[in-house]
A and B are shown apart, each in its own frame.
Chain A
Amino acid sequence: MIELAGKRCLITGGSRGLGRAIACRLARGGARVGFTYSTDDADADDARAAVVAAGAEPLVFKGSVADAAHARAAVDAVASAWGGLDALVCCAAITQVLPISLLEEADWDLVMDVNVKGTYLFARAALRHMIRQKGGVIVTIGNFASERVVEAPIHYAASKSALRGLTEALAREVGRHGVRVNLLAPGLLEQGLSQALPQHRVDEFRSQSALGRLGRLDEVAELAAFLVSDDASFLSGAKLVADGGL
């Protein structure tokens, strides 16, 4: 198992889906784990219990990732509690299955706020600590939706494409401080977006994927653990694609 003992990690959007899976995986690897969530206290309780069962006592923060004060408070709380922050995994994201004709400005703003601005705000807050401690890891979560292969809601696709640019630019900017920034881009998974897509779109993904199946949360969480770990010490500005071979 990838060694993560002593890593101080914060995951945004950790109460369910991929965020929860990553929180649990990092905890199983020996990391200390904090996570944020936006609204659902019951989900957060479940995630906390899952992380505890995986071997860590998590710090949990409720708030919108698009709120700069929340980002600062959550990051500072982790750094204060554990003496620093080694890894930030930006999982918080939303999507809506809407064609452009029905897409309101408010929909666009919401998806961009959560998916892009939230990543920027948390990265900025985390870097205050990482640059001071001369090292750290930021993992952003992209998506196959930003590629040309599959039809996807445009605001979601745009947000995930933006994260690719953000990741590459940020990696270049903060690499000199020993901070690695990478994008993890999963394909369609058994949970999450696939449950909101019409069946023919899911089938389309399967048919174009070399492995002919959807991914599992644990498979992607394993890659997140790799990116957080020292095993990925020479990897920065990269896009790690896990889409079953599209």
Chain B
Amino acid sequence: MVEIADILRGGFDDYQAFVNPLVAQRARLAGEPVRIERVADGTLVDRTGHVFEDFHGTQAFGHRNPHVAAAVQAFLASDAASWFPSRVNPFAGRFARRLCERTGHYDNVFFGLSGSDAVEAALKLARAATKKPGIVGLSGAYHGCTFGSVSLMAEGYLREPFVPLLADARSIPFGDADALRRELARGDVGAVVVEPIQGEGGVRELPAPFVEALCEETAKHGALLVADEVQTGLGRTGRGFLATQTWPRRPDVVLLAKHLGGGLVPISAMLTRRDTFMLAYGQQFASGESHNVTLGCNAISAVAGLAALDLLTDALITRVRDVGTKLKHDLTAALASSPLVREVRGAGLMLGVALAPSDHPWLTFEHFGFPELAHQSVIAPVLCHRIYRRGFFCFSCGHDWTVFRLQPRFEVPEEKLTAFVAIVREELDKLESLS
């Protein structure tokens, strides 16, 4: 029998001992709340009773959402199979139907278990469908950690250990429409993969002229336009179910993950039109199963996904838009006079605060005893460290440590956001006072 209480006591140390000691060490050093004991109303509670609001974004419906949990429990209380050897899984089928209907455009779904799975599926789809090897991404990108997806990764510690990577995968400068045209003119590009708003790249939104060029030029050159909406999709930007639904042309491929399983179970999806999918996998029976994720179609994930779709109403997405707009406005106003703040950016409840590095040697990784990180700005990680202590779990962008990133749950109480804005200002003032 799995003893939950026992795991919550000893499992954290087991993680350090048997999973990844550096992750555990990093969390301790940064002062992150680690020993989380339970959830309460969508928040996290540690073993000393401190409550944390999680701004990571994977828990858009709050931690352990009761509707999602009830759906999974109802499934487990039934005698239905979770996995079907034929792969013809009715739960996956129903979830795919609901997902397609919700997008109002796509009519074919491939399921994986992670965002990287979905990206990998898209890269293979593009090559199989277009017969062109070239994959183009943007500088500052983060698409996942499989070899295919990491081939599009921005330069740095997330990419370099794994070279050489996928041949014919290359990057162009972020938002550079001329570079895009030049690249597509080579004639070998099967896919252009973009994030509508780069997450790890610093919460950077694609400029509108670039999006126009992207939609036009990919169609013109027969390259698939792949929108990695792992971060921006499912209402996160408040612009609709998908952030790309107002683009001049709907992308050929859209990728979803994160809270697709309600935050409770892993699942990702690659959405396409059926004709695109058939170009790759519909030519002969054997090829129909040539790309596969064994448990990608498991019923528990699909049931959780169906429950997540129940929650993701238009009214909720409108709330994301309105609350996000107010948060952005309030942050901008509250932080305007801080010399440590450059800009508040993003959309809906996917926001980033770009910070200016302090020029005081006290606020450097070198001073903190990490000379190997001296080239990185310490300001956002230190701000996160300060804010953990005030009850909020924030983080800095993986590729740009000057950007402090906020992705609250969709129903985060407004008074918590008001308190958060005041806390950020207070903590920035303290950091400024150090120099």
Contacts and interface: CB of A to CB of B under 8 A. Distances in A.
B28 A97 contact: yes
Interface string B71-83: 0000000000000
A42 B25 CA distance: 23
Nearest to B360: A101
Given A39-B48, A42-B47, A196 B9 contact: no
Contacts of A199: 22, 25
B47 A101 contact: no
Given A199-B22, A199-B25, A102 B385 contact: yes
Contacts of A201: 369
Contact of A40 (B22, B29, B47, B362): B47
Interface of B is mostly: helix
Contacts of A195: 16, 24-25, 28
Contacts of B5: 42
Interface centre among B362, B369, B382 (most CB of A within 10 A): B369
A197 B26 CA distance: 9
A46 B9 contact: yes
A43 interface: yes
Contacts of B369: 99, 151, 198, 200-201
B16 A99 contact: no
Contacts of B25: 195-199
A198 B370 contact: yes
A95 to B, nearest CB: 11
A99 B368 contact: yes
Contacts of B24: 195
Interface string A73-105: 000000000000000000000001101011000
Contact of A101 (B29, B48, B370, B434): B434
6 contacts: A40-B47, A96-B31, A99-B367, A102-B386, A197-B29, A201-B369
5 A-B pairs with least C-beta separation: A101-B362, A196-B28, A42-B9, A101-B434, A39-B48
Interface of B: 5, 8-9, 16, 22, 24-25, 28-29, 31, 47-48, 362-363, 367-370, 382, 385-386, 434
Interface of A: 39-40, 42-43, 46, 96-97, 99, 101-102, 151, 195-201
Given A42-B47, A97-B29, 10 more contacts: A39-B48, A40-B47, A42-B8, A101-B362, A101-B363, A102-B385, A195-B16, A197-B29, A198-B25, A199-B25
